[in-house]
Amino acid sequence: MATSDRQLDVLHQPFVVAVTPAKCLQLTTFVKMANLYDKLGPRVVALFNRCATHIELDLQERACEYLTLYQVGDELLRRVLESMPVFQENRESVLTVRLHNQQNATAAEGQGQGQGDVADSYSGSVSTQRAGGGGGGGLSKTKKAPDGQDEVVPIELSLAPKPAEWTRGLLLSPQGVLFENDVLRVGAMHESGGSQASVTRFVGNKTSDALAPFRQLLLECMAPFVAPPLLRVSFARCGVQHQYDLTLPCYTAAFLEPAALESAKRETQGVVQAASPLDMAQARQWPTEQLRFAKSIQGDGALSLAATLRTGVDGPNGDKVAVSCLARVEANMASNAVRITMRKCTATPR
């Protein structure tokens, strides 16, 4: 692999789990690399196209700006992204001069300070103690139910089927609604690469009450799993505790990578009756674009799929363990049924 391609791969590896400011800096790095190495242009433009519809506005804005530079022309792109000239060795950096001046000023101020700092610190402690009052630290008590337990409001019964539908929708889309009622709306965006994934949650407050901000979740797949992780959303409103248990849009398929496997003996088969009329165009799109399988359409119309599950577990040789999967999907339009054949593959370190 060429050095420039390798550099881009190494820099892009932590992109999925990075916070938004770091991703913005990485986009700037990628566009500068594409300016230095012309052959990286198509890969970088493809990345900008994906980020141009990102749910994070800062990242979306930066990706759109760099895409516009490419569309305007090479001359403007090279002028804007011109490499910094070599710094002359006989010149002293302006930042170094400023740092030395600040250090000298700080040392001079330190010599003139004495008990004044102690007095200020003591005065501040007294004012803080007064503001807290009553030794309670300014914290309010949670209202208790008659039985002595906190009153907890779960998801309404009328909305019970909805979270499962929203979670299934996020399986086929990188972003969407995870939960919504008359109090709040929880959106989710998920990205994955190799054995790592990130799930970013966004909360829309439908009330006038203040809600604490949510943070990004970082996950790493250590072994194949069936049940996705759960997210517990808990908050207090008008003295009543609300608690919603939601399923995170993080499935085993998120950690798959397309792979090429040899066809061999298939050991497991199953026939699935479709709930709605079969759409073969859609059936070919979902496994490859959403479930990350590599596909091969056979002469008889059957669809062969192959992928590798990346885990974070170290194997005997120190490499990460990977589990391969080979599947074959055959549709019977007359009976509106699908036969799925799976090949059992042994987990081996890659």
pLDDT in tens, 286-300: 777 777 777 776 656
pLDDT beyond 50 at 139: no
Range of the domain at 222: 160-250
Residue indicated by tokens 């530079």: 69
Domain membership of residue 153 (yes or no) is no
Residue 211 structure tokens: 């809600």
What CATH number should be reported for the domain holding residue 309? 3.30.310.10
Of 196, 221, 250, the domain-final residue: 250
pLDDT beyond 60 at 141: no
* Predicted model pTM: 0.42
Of 81, 98, 133, the domain-final residue: 81
Question: Count of CB atoms within 10 A of residue 123's CB?
Answer: 10
pLDDT beyond 80 at 339: yes
**What proportion of the chain, given as a percentage, has pLDDT over 90?**
0
pLDDT beyond 70 at 261: no
Domain membership of residue 149 (yes or no) is no
Residue 154 structure tokens: 């779960």
pLDDT beyond 70 at 230: yes
250 CB burial (10 A radius; 0-12, 13-18, 19+): buried
Mean pLDDT for the stretch of residues 229-235: 81
Which range among 189-198, 229-238, 302-311 shows the weakest confidence by mean pLDDT? 189-198
Going from the C-alpha of 147 to that of each of 141, 234, 244, 291, 299, the distances in angstroms are 16, 21, 22, 48, 68
At residue 61, φ and ψ (nearest 5 deg) are: -65, -45
β-pairing, 240-247 with 175-180?
Answer: unpaired
Strand order in the sheet with 196-205: 175-180, 184-193, 196-205, 217-220
Mean pLDDT for the stretch of residues 254-259: 71
- Does residue 37 share a domain with residue 20? yes
Total domains present in the chain? 3
Model confidence at 217, pLDDT cuts 50, 70, 90, reads low
Which range among 37-51, 111-125, 128-142, 307-321 shows the weakest confidence by mean pLDDT? 128-142
